[in-house]
Amino acid sequence: MKNYLKILICFLLMSSPSWAQSDGQTDFNKDWKFYKGEVKDGESIGLNDEDWRTVRIPHDWAIEGPFSNEYNARCGGLPFHGEGWYRKHFTLTNTQKDKHVTIEFEGVMNNSEVWINGHYLGKRPFGYLGFEYDLTPYLKQEEENIIAVKVKPEDLSSRWYPGAGMYRKVWLNINNDVRVNHWGTFVKAHNVTSRVATIDIQVEVQNFKLSDEIVSIKNKVVDANGNTVKELHQKTIAEGKKTIIAQQSFNIIQPLLWSIDDPNLYQLVTEIISKEGEVMDTYRTRFGVRDIKFTAKEGFFLNGELTKFNGVCLHHDLGPLGAAVNRRATQRQLEIMKEMGVNAIRTSHNPPSREQLEICDEIGLLVLDEAFDEWGIQKIENGYHKVFDEWHERDLRDMIRRDRNHPSIIMWSIGNEIKEQKVKDGWKVAQKLAKICHEEDPSRPNTAGFNQYENSIKNKLAHQVDIVGFNYKAAKYEEVRKNHPDWIIYGSETESITSSRGVYHAPFLEKYKKNTDHQVTSYDIIGPSWSYPPDMEFYYLEQNPSILGEFMWTGFDYFGEPTPYGGRDNSTNGYWNSDWPNKSSFFGPVDLCGFKKDRFYLYQSQWTDTPMLHLLPHWNWKGYEGEEIPVFAYTNAEEVELFLNGKSLGKKVKGVDKGIVPIQFQYYEGPYDFPSPYRLRWDVPYQEGELKAVSYIDGKVVGEEIINTHLKAKTIELTADRIIISSDDGEDLVFVTARAIDAKGNFCATFNGDIQFTVSGDGTFEATGNGDPSSLVLPNSKKLKFFNGMALVIARANEGKGGTINITAKGKGLKTKTITVKTEAQNKEIQ
């Protein structure tokens, strides 16, 4: 493998609100006018938009619904396609006049077109990447200005729910005529050790003037405590109407390395100073120092430590919030993943939000940053293939330039399951995209996710990428390692098992295709023909230790692709509505609301070391008295003892007493009844009462879990994810979980009654959910049903000095409960 795969990289990070930004960046997200539908001359200055809705960006119009089988269940059964218009009126302040003004959109879904004061600025078909337009020539200095944005996403343009509209943030950038270019810094390193790291800084200086300007570039490196680590100065000539590149190098002595467990962050503060001493621009780049290395024989090393990918694929929607980006909602998702033992995220199958990358950097998650789900050959009628020839190079280069300073990113993915795998000369496209990655960032390898095992090798696509990803080919790891010993390989997409939280069907371990209740059992054995339970990936990775690890499909459920109901993945032009009302996926070990399914704990038992124990199923089986119920325990302890109503049913040793699960999938030649070393199983004749598991290490008790046969639900238990949230900007959220409880305090795991929420005080209602893939209650409804004993409400803090939010839940026959959450100003200004 080429030398650049033995990589030493450094990046600089600090705790500012945005990863890389100028001090001239201004929040431009409030008070937009929105209209859903066609508008004649919607860009016109004279258009009267007083009756349009006022919205705050980020905004996703489609999550407002309705859910309907008029729309494609493959995309969540939501109206994401059509036409929408956004307009914003603004007047420059005195400090903004005579400045250079640009507008930056972090993402518009999709086919956006933008005007300023009636002047056309441009279009961007791809909804997942940001872009910037120069407003300066068309601005009115003393009068009102009007930005107009037309969005026109098409039906059959996505294989999942993409959202619709201005779903990521917008910024107004106010600069002098000489500034750091958009995404204009790049920091990389070599010879990185714990003793020293050599850092190379690249700064692009953009001069909008006609004349040349003599400027000084001051680069200052600051650690997380605000201490200056290094300061460098350089004079240069910024040529008129050009962008020049200035480079500097230095050493950091005893750098604090960025890692999964200790994600140390720095910042680079770049100042552009005129010859008169005026600071013309200040640009801040957060980053961290780390060393990555990929090898074919041993695997992936982070700072010299062998590290397996315990990874998940994540779509970009945020469950009940839709696709509109919210930092706290994104943070909560990633925190839940890290709790499961996840150390890596694949941004399937598109460039992620800025917030997702920032949080991965901050909490220590590796990232596989992915560009495309489709190249020139179509998967769906109106997919990216329509614009691939014109836009692929711009989009891929922009993704890398935008994201290259994030230390969490370790690979660039050029595509997922692309149809060019079956084409004889498809390798040429892969080669071109891989070359672009090397040109933009020679410090990281590129990769792709191949699902056509034979074709990707036969047609030489796998030969073009630095790291080879295979989707659902665990049973082929040994063969591909034998045939291609120099390849570096990982599972780019694995498992694809499906389940509904808290659902267990009888007969209990039957591998059915569909069930009449439109749910899937949580015994975690059901999936499409290509998929397999997590046990099999664990097993094959153990048998093939040089494989880098896996990215399971998917960390969270998401709107769309309700497999096994309604359709089949990659079905060209197909609506998935034959099993309506199913409209969201079953793939996640965590449901749409962030509630953990049983599978969460199966992964946790393999991916974490802190003692844990989980027992399933629930213990309410009236009518099954005396019938054997499969009971499983997931643990990272050495052994577990099971008790029924105080009577021991025996101890079982993990890895020795193997739990039998049914297995059948493509390329698998092993037994149907697979003896899993990762699950402990007892077949217990049902009698109501108490089921208790106790876990042991070295003969000492390290965990206990009890499941009781519950009675009728009597009250509601409310739990907030945080008791204090920020009131700084009106964007912080609190997630409150409601659980149905019986008179004895037991969780009512089969309760599906009504619940209604109210939000009062210094906050507003945002959304609800219950994780049911077949529910048609919209997230903007305050009334819904419990799903297997649980429901969720989300509230937003009002912007201001702070106060309290009161969240109340009530339901028929249930005692009403209220929880109070504090909101406080937390002063999140850049240090």
The domain that holds 441 is classified in CATH as: 3.20.20.80
Question: Is 502 part of a structural domain of the chain?
Answer: no
* Residues 9 and 89 placed together within one structural domain of the fold: no
Annotation marks residue 417 as catalytic: yes
At 210, which amino acid appears? L
Burial class (CB in 10 A: 0-12, 13-18, 19+), 501: buried
Report yes or no: 197 and 250 within 8 Å, Cβ to Cβ.
Answer: no
* Residues 229 and 286 placed together within one structural domain of the fold: yes
Q: What is the pLDDT of residues 491-513, one digit of tens each?
A: 999 999 999 999 999 999 999 99
3 state DSSP class of 439: helix
Strand partners, 219: 232, 270
* Residues 598 and 653 placed together within one structural domain of the fold: no
Average pLDDT over residues 254-281: 96
Cα radius of gyration rounded to whole Å, the chain: 27
* Residues 333 and 473 placed together within one structural domain of the fold: yes
The pLDDT value recorded for residue 17 is 42
Give the containing element (helix H, strand E) for 467: strand 467-471
Question: Is 518 part of a structural domain of the chain?
Answer: no
Report the alpha-carbon distance of residue 443 to residue 403 in Å, rounded.
Answer: 13
3 state DSSP class of 598: helix
Question: Is 735 part of a structural domain of the chain?
Answer: yes
Asked whether the predicted pLDDT for residue 663 surpasses 70, the reply is yes
* Residues 327 and 469 placed together within one structural domain of the fold: yes
Q: How confident is the model at residue 14 (pLDDT cuts 50, 70, 90)?
A: very low
Q: What is the pLDDT of residues 135-175, one digit of tens each?
A: 999 999 989 999 999 999 999 999 999 999 999 999 999 99
Question: Is 831 part of a structural domain of the chain?
Answer: no
Range of weakest confidence among 18-27, 211-220, 268-277, 697-706: 18-27
Average pLDDT over residues 708-730: 97
Report yes or no: 801 and 810 within 8 Å, Cβ to Cβ.
Answer: no
The domain that holds 154 is classified in CATH as: 2.60.120.260
Last residue in a domain, options 148, 175, 202: 175
Asked whether the predicted pLDDT for residue 364 surpasses 70, the reply is yes
Q: How confident is the model at residue 7 (pLDDT cuts 50, 70, 90)?
A: very low
Using a pLDDT cut of 90, give the percent of the chain over it.
93
Report yes or no: 268 and 252 within 8 Å, Cβ to Cβ.
Answer: no
Q: Which of 493, 550, 561, 638 is catalytic?
A: 493
Distance of CA 78 to the CA centre of its chain: 20
**Taking the CA of residue 664 as centre, how many other CA atoms within 13 Å lie in the half-sphere pointing to its CB?**
10
Report the alpha-carbon distance of residue 559 to residue 321 in Å, rounded.
Answer: 11
- The closest of 179, 97, 173, 98 to 134, measured between CA atoms, is 173
Q: Tell me the residue ranges of DSSP E strands in 93-144.
A: 100-105, 112-116, 119-124, 131-134
With vertex at residue 226, the alpha carbon angle to CA 222 and CA 231, rounded to the nearest 5 degrees, is: 30
At 356, which amino acid appears? Q
Asked whether the predicted pLDDT for residue 622 surpasses 50, the reply is yes
Question: Is 48 part of a structural domain of the chain?
Answer: yes
Last residue in a domain, options 581, 607, 633: 607
Edge-to-edge strand order for the sheet containing 680-685? 613-616, 628-635, 680-685
Question: Which phi and psi angles does 258 have, rounded to 5°?
Answer: -80, 130
Range of the domain at 197: 3-15+189-290
* Residues 309 and 435 placed together within one structural domain of the fold: yes
Asked whether the predicted pLDDT for residue 10 surpasses 60, the reply is no
Average pLDDT over residues 465-478: 97
**Taking the CA of residue 122 as centre, how many other CA atoms within 13 Å lie in the half-sphere pointing to its CB?**
13
Range of weakest confidence among 182-191, 318-327, 768-777: 182-191
Question: Is 512 part of a structural domain of the chain?
Answer: no
Average pLDDT over residues 592-611: 98
* Residues 99 and 232 placed together within one structural domain of the fold: no
Report yes or no: 584 and 773 within 8 Å, Cβ to Cβ.
Answer: yes
Q: Which of 417, 495, 705, 766 is catalytic?
A: 417
Question: Is 580 part of a structural domain of the chain?
Answer: yes
Burial class (CB in 10 A: 0-12, 13-18, 19+), 264: middle
The pLDDT value recorded for residue 830 is 29
Report the alpha-carbon distance of residue 3 to residue 295 in Å, rounded.
Answer: 11
Neighbour count for residue 147 (Cβ, 10 Å)? 22
Asked whether the predicted pLDDT for residue 29 surpasses 50, the reply is yes
Question: Which phi and psi angles does 38 have, rounded to 5°?
Answer: -75, 140
3 state DSSP class of 523: coil
Q: How confident is the model at residue 6 (pLDDT cuts 50, 70, 90)?
A: very low
Average pLDDT over residues 767-792: 98
The structure tokens 């509601």 sit at: 716
Buried b (16+ CB within 10 A) or exposed e, 503-541: bbbeebbeeeeebeebbbbbbbbbbbeebbbbbbbbbbb
Report yes or no: 288 and 264 within 8 Å, Cβ to Cβ.
Answer: yes
The pLDDT value recorded for residue 570 is 60
Name, in order, each residue with C-beta under 8 angstroms of 86's C-beta and a sequence gap of 6 or more: 32, 33, 34, 55, 57, 59, 147, 148, 149, 151, 165, 166
Asked whether the predicted pLDDT for residue 711 surpasses 90, the reply is yes
Report yes or no: 403 and 443 within 8 Å, Cβ to Cβ.
Answer: no
* Residues 638 and 732 placed together within one structural domain of the fold: no
Helices 388-403 and 427-440 pack at an angle, to 10 degrees, of: 30
* Residues 385 and 456 placed together within one structural domain of the fold: yes
* Residues 320 and 461 placed together within one structural domain of the fold: yes
- Following DSSP, what letter does each residue of 294-323 receive, concatenated? EETTTEEEETTEE--EEEEE--S--GGGTT
Average pLDDT over residues 664-690: 95
Q: How confident is the model at residue 23 (pLDDT cuts 50, 70, 90)?
A: confident
Average pLDDT over residues 1-10: 37
Report the alpha-carbon distance of residue 523 to residue 407 in Å, rounded.
Answer: 37
Helices 327-340 and 354-363 pack at an angle, to 10 degrees, of: 40
The pLDDT value recorded for residue 571 is 61
Report yes or no: 289 and 197 within 8 Å, Cβ to Cβ.
Answer: yes
3 state DSSP class of 330: helix
Task: Report how many helices (DSSP H) and strands (DSSP E) the chain contains, helices first.
Answer: 8, 49
The pLDDT value recorded for residue 574 is 85
The domain that holds 765 is classified in CATH as: 2.60.40.10
Asked whether the predicted pLDDT for residue 11 surpasses 70, the reply is no
The pLDDT value recorded for residue 572 is 61
Report yes or no: 36 and 55 within 8 Å, Cβ to Cβ.
Answer: no
Report the alpha-carbon distance of residue 250 to residue 81 in Å, rounded.
Answer: 51
Strand partners, 175: 100
- The closest of 630, 633, 634 to 642, measured between CA atoms, is 633
* Residues 478 and 571 placed together within one structural domain of the fold: yes
Which tokens go with 708? Answer: 């009781």
Across the chain, mean pLDDT equals 95
Quote the number of domains for the chain: 5
Q: What is the pLDDT of residues 424-457, one digit of tens each?
A: 999 999 999 999 999 999 999 999 999 999 999 9
Last residue in a domain, options 661, 679, 708: 708
Q: What is the pLDDT of residues 566-595, one digit of tens each?
A: 987 666 668 999 999 999 999 999 999 999
Average pLDDT over residues 254-264: 96
Query: What is residue 154's DSSP assignment?
Result: P
Q: How confident is the model at residue 666 (pLDDT cuts 50, 70, 90)?
A: confident
Average pLDDT over residues 221-228: 92
Question: Is 566 part of a structural domain of the chain?
Answer: yes
Q: What is the pLDDT of residues 376-395, one digit of tens each?
A: 999 999 999 999 999 999 99
* Residues 204 and 264 placed together within one structural domain of the fold: yes
